[in-house]
């Protein structure tokens, strides 16, 4: 109830003496103006009531009367129900034959805790302080003796009505404040426990719900499944489509996941959550058996990978899935969550994404990975990252035309780790730029020594990842390393996979243009695996295409595969690009790529990746052969 809703001063007088009631009506009426009324009383009424005073300076009261205690209680009850409560009730202490004023006051207080109760009596008892104990609160129960003077009665009524209005305003202000505090608390709770984009619970809320299910210890907690999923290349889609479309896609994923489990009871603790930029989670209690578990996980993946219609376009997503469950993988939510994340990261590292179910061996793998991280930082500092070289041969002359530098980690115990085991790790650790710098330093050192010791200039290719393209100092870094080692920039080629290139084309284009102006060679590796328009080839300053080895591997399986490779070679030639066939493992493959017009060849059939001493020995052996071109039989035969 607001102050505006009760602007009048409603007063109830209760007495069995008709003449006394008349006196109340007279002194509280609008025309009351006794000869001895003081300006102090008028000023007090103006302060208390403001506009509630009339032109003559008298407060206005709406006076109701009753002659029995029971009738007074009924009147108060009706006023409360009608939303027009009384400010004051004057109660005579004795009104035979019904209840007395004290009992009436108790009942009235129970009906209206805010009304000011004035007990009117001609005796000296009860004492005022006792009234406060019998009919609390003490600041709303008063003692008034009769006979009273009319001015005293009016002054008391004015003061108590003013107090009543002030209390009402204060209660209203407190109600408003409490409402705002409640709304703010709810907003903070929602911010703390829910994702602002999708409205789904966040990671904290999901963990709390999981803990609640476990701690309740009921049947629903047994065999609770936690599924985490990561949307691949979401950042690329977000950049391509725009922020608004990306937001709508996230909402659509959340809605679709919720609909997937509509048939499961909402009271079981089922929770769909967004806990990262492109990561969602599904907590599904009460799994019956492994069959149901696998069905649910596969259903989640299928659901997310069905096409989404966003702004009139069909979008096809790929999701990496990691799954763990209680109590097999942990006795609390935090442990199960950690296991599910380990499974998810395993899926994200797999080429085909897919689904990974957590198993105990992954814990030791994770521990090994943690140890590798520590060792990798030290390995870079201790020059344990070395380079292997794989030869590239010219198919026209049979001579060595170049080499590809491939990083290896030579650990102190003598074991050699391939790049697949530490390159992705360096990217996750944020030290891929440092690793690239170490590899390029190694290559430039070798190229410089080959020239100084043997007068041998051979171009070497170094792999460049999408992470390096985001390094604003990349061009300056490469320039500095080449100048420090006094290496001709034309002897360094940078290879970037087609997939990485297309994923960050907007970023790659200006960087590659700067590199091209500097003078290093630019090669597209694994060509043919991309999914975008080939128009980008005309926009980028590349000189070489390397046909992905998966095409070469299937080359001899069918005529269709042959035509695919022929088409790639023809495309390269049409754009005046050099074409390298990598992954040559058989003589038949070598003969076919030569027939199709490839310029260079690379693969195990010609030479495996070798440590620098072995690579140099291999080159010397080829040079000293009785037939300089024996390594390429079709060239040797042609020369004969």
Predicted pLDDT at 519: 93
Dihedral (CA of 204, 210, 211, 216) sign: positive
Q: What is the distance in angstroms between the CA of the first residue and the CA of the last residue of the chain?
A: 110
Judge whether 193 lies within some domain: no
Q: Would 179 be classed as within a structural domain? A: no
DSSP character for 217? T
Tell how strand 385-394 and strand 355-357 pair up: unpaired
Domain membership of residue 488 as a residue range: 369-639
- Is the pLDDT score of 627 beyond 60? no
Is 60 exceeded by the pLDDT of residue 630? Answer: no
Instruction: Judge whether 23 lies within some domain.
Output: yes
Q: Is residue 185 part of a domain?
A: no
- Do residues 339 and 427 share a domain? no
**Residue 319: both structure tokens together:** 């999701």
Give the model's confidence band at 145: pLDDT under 50 very low, under 70 low, under 90 confident, else very high: confident
Same domain, 320 and 375: no
Residue 41 lies in a domain: yes
Q: Are residues 286 and 167 part of one domain?
A: no
Look at residue 122 and tell me if it is in a domain. yes
**Domain check: are 441 and 351 in the same one?**
no
pLDDT band at 6 (very low <50, low <70, confident <90, very high): very low
What CATH number is given to the structural domain containing 71?
A: 3.40.50.2300
pLDDT band at 362 (very low <50, low <70, confident <90, very high): low
Task: Give pLDDT tens digits for 548-599.
Answer: 898 999 998 889 889 999 999 999 999 999 999 999 999 999 999 999 999 9
Domain identity same for 375 and 451? yes
The confidence band for 544, taking pLDDT boundaries of 50, 70 and 90, is very high
Q: What is the mean pLDDT of residues 25-43?
A: 64
126 and 231 co-located in one domain: no
| Contact present, 448 and 487 (Cβ < 8 Å) | yes
Which of 123, 147, 171 terminates a domain? The answer is: 171
Q: What CATH number does residue 634 fall under?
A: 3.20.20.450
pLDDT band at 369 (very low <50, low <70, confident <90, very high): low
- Give the model's pLDDT for residue 55: 41
Residue range 361-379: mean pLDDT, rounded:
72
DSSP state of 115: P
Q: Are residues 399 and 511 in the same domain?
A: yes
Question: Has residue 248 got a pLDDT over 70?
Answer: yes
Q: How confident is the model at residue 111 (pLDDT cuts 50, 70, 90)?
A: very high
CA 495/CA 465 separation, integer angstroms:
8
Q: State residue 181's pLDDT score.
A: 87
Q: 250 and 318 in one domain?
A: yes
Torsion of CA 48, 49, 55, 57, to 10 degrees: -30
Residue (of 135, 18, 131, 117) closest to 68 by Cα position: 18
Question: Considering the chain, what is the average pLDDT of its residues?
Answer: 84
- Does residue 2 surpass a pLDDT of 60? no
Inform me whether the pLDDT recorded for 465 exceeds 90. no
* Burial of residue 159 (number of CB atoms within 10 Å: 0-12, 13-18, 19+): middle
Q: Return the minimum-mean-pLDDT range out of 312-326, 337-351, 528-542.
A: 528-542
Q: Residue 54 above 50 pLDDT?
A: no
Q: Identify whether 224 is part of a domain.
A: yes
CATH of residue 330: 3.30.70.270
- Residue 139 in any domain: the answer is yes
Residue 114 vs residues 76, 392, 503, 560: alpha-carbon distances, Å: 12, 96, 70, 92
What pLDDT band is residue 124 in, cutting at 50, 70 and 90? Answer: low
Band of pLDDT at residue 143, cut at 50, 70 and 90:
confident
Domain-terminating residue out of 359, 383, 408: 359
List, in sequence order, the alpha helices (H) in 149-202: 150-193
pLDDT tens digits, 263-273: 665 556 789 99
Residue 638: which pLDDT band, with cuts at 50, 70 and 90? very low
pLDDT tier, 361 (very low <50, low <70, confident <90, very high otherwise)? low
Phi, psi of 298 (to 5 degrees): -65, -35
For 482, the token pair is: 């080449």
More confident residue, 445 or 243: 445
Residue 357 φ/ψ, nearest 5 degrees? -95, 130
Indicate the pairing of strand 544-547 with strand 521-527.
parallel
Kindly state the average pLDDT of the residues 71-100.
92
Pair (384, 271) in one structural domain:
no
Least confidently predicted of 127-131, 303-307, 394-398, 577-581: 127-131
Which candidate, 338, 325, 248, 321, places its Cα nearest to that of 293? Answer: 325
Work out how many domains the chain is built from and give that number: 3
* Pick from 166-180, 201-215, 284-298, 366-380: least confident: 366-380
Per-residue model confidence (pLDDT) at position 266:
56
Crossing angle of helices 559-574 and 587-596, rounded to 10°: 40
Alpha-carbon separation of residue 394 from 400, 405, 599 (angstroms): 6, 17, 6
pLDDT surpasses 50 at 375: yes
Q: Which pLDDT tens digit goes with each residue over 521-536?
A: 999 988 876 555 567 7
DSSP states along 229-267: EEETTHHHHHHHH-HHHHHHHHHHHHHHHHHHTTTS-GG
Rounded Cα–Cα distance for residues 218 and 229 (Å): 27
Q: Is the pTM of this model over 0.75?
A: no
pLDDT at 374 over 50: yes
pLDDT of residue 300: 93
- Domain check: are 302 and 270 in the same one? yes
> From CA 255, how far away is CA 308, in angstroms rounded?
12
Please, which residues have CB within 8 angstroms of residue 16's CB and are 6 or more apart in sequence?
67, 68, 92, 94, 95, 96
pLDDT for the residue 3: 45
* pLDDT > 90 in the chain, percent: 43
Q: Are residues 348 and 392 in the same domain?
A: no
In this structure, are 141 and 93 located in the same domain? yes
Tell me which residue of 329, 395, 340 sits closest to 579, measured CA to CA: 395
Place of tokens 């302060």: 47
Q: Is 286 left (phi over 0), alpha (psi -120 to 50) or beta?
A: left
Confidence of residue 640 (pLDDT cuts 50, 70, 90): very low
pLDDT, mean of residues 104-113: 94
Predicted confidence at residue 264, as pLDDT, reads: 67
Residue 96 pLDDT > 80, yes or no?
Answer: yes
């Amino acid at each position: 109830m607001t102050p505006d809703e009760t602007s009048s001063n409603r007063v109830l007088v209760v007495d069995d003496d008709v003449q006394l009631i008349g006196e109340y009506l007279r002194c509280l009426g609008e025309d009351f103006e006794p000869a001895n009324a003081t300006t102090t009383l008028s000023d007090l009424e103006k302060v208390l009531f403001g506009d509630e005073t009339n032109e003559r300076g008298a407060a206005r009261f709406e006076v109701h009367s009753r002659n029995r205690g029971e009738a007074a209680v009924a009147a108060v009850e009706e006023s409360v129900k009608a939303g027009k409560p009384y400010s004051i009730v004057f109660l005579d202490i004795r009104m035979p034959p019904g209840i007395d004023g004290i009992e009436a006051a108790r009942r009235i207080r129970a009906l209206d805790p805010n009304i000011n109760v004035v007990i009117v009596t001609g005796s000296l008892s009860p004492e005022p302080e006792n009234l406060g104990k019998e009919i609390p609160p003490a600041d709303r129960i008063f003692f008034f003796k009769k006979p009273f003077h009319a001015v005293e009665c009016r002054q008391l009524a004015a003061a108590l009505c003013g107090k009543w209005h002030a209390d009402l305003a204060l209660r209203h202000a407190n109600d408003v404040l409490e409402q705002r505090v409640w709304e703010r608390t709810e907003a903070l709770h929602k911010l703390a426990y829910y994702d602002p984009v999708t409205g789904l619970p966040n990671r904290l809320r999901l963990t709390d719900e999981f803990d609640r299910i476990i701690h309740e210890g009921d049947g629903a907690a047994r065999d609770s499944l936690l599924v985490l999923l990561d949307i691949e290349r979401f950042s690329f889609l977000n950049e391509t489509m725009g922020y608004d479309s990306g937001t709508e896609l996230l909402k659509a994923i959340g809605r679709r996941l919720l609909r997937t489990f509509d048939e499961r009871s909402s009271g079981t603790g089922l929770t769909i959550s967004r806990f990262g930029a492109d990561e969602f989670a599904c907590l599904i209690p009460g799994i019956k058996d492994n069959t149901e578990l696998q069905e649910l996980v596969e259903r989640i993946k299928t659901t997310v990978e069905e096409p989404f219609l966003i702004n009139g376009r069909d979008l096809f997503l790929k999701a990496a899935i990691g799954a763990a469950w209680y109590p097999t993988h942990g006795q609390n939510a935090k442990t199960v969550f950690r296991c599910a994340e380990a499974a998810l990261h395993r899926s994200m590292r797999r080429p085909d994404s897919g689904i990974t179910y957590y198993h105990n061996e992954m814990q030791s793998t994770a521990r090994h990975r943690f140890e590798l991280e520590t060792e990798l930082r030290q390995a870079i500092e201790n020059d344990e990252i070395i380079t292997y070289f794989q030869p590239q041969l010219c198919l026209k002359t049979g001579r060595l035309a170049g080499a590809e530098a491939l990083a290896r980690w030579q650990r102190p115990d003598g074991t050699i780790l391939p790049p697949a085991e530490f390159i992705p790790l360096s990217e996750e650790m944020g030290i891929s730029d440092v690793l690239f710098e170490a590899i390029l330093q190694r290559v430039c050192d070798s190229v410089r020594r080959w020239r100084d010791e043997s007068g041998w200039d051979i171009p070497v290719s170094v792999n460049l990842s999408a992470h390096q393209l985001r390094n604003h100092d990349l061009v300056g870094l490469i320039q500095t390393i080449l100048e420090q080692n006094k290496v001709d920039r034309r002897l360094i080629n940078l290879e970037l996979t087609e997939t990485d290139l297309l994923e960050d084309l907007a970023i790659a284009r200006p960087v590659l243009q700067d590199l091209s102006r500097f003078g290093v060679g630019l090669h597209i590796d694994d060509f043919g695996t991309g999914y975008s328009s080939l128009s980008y080839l005309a926009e980028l300053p590349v000189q070489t295409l390397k046909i992905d080895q998966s095409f070469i591997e299937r080359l001899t399986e069918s005529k269709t595969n042959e035509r695919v490779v022929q088409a790639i070679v023809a495309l390269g030639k049409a754009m005046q690009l050099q074409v390298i066939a990598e992954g040559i493992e058989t003589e038949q493959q070598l003969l076919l790529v030569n027939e199709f017009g490839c310029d260079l060849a690379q693969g195990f059939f010609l030479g495996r990746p070798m440590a620098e001493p072995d690579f140099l020995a291999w080159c010397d052996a080829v040079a000293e052969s009785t037939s300089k071109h024996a390594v390429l039989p079709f060239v040797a035969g042609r020369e004969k």
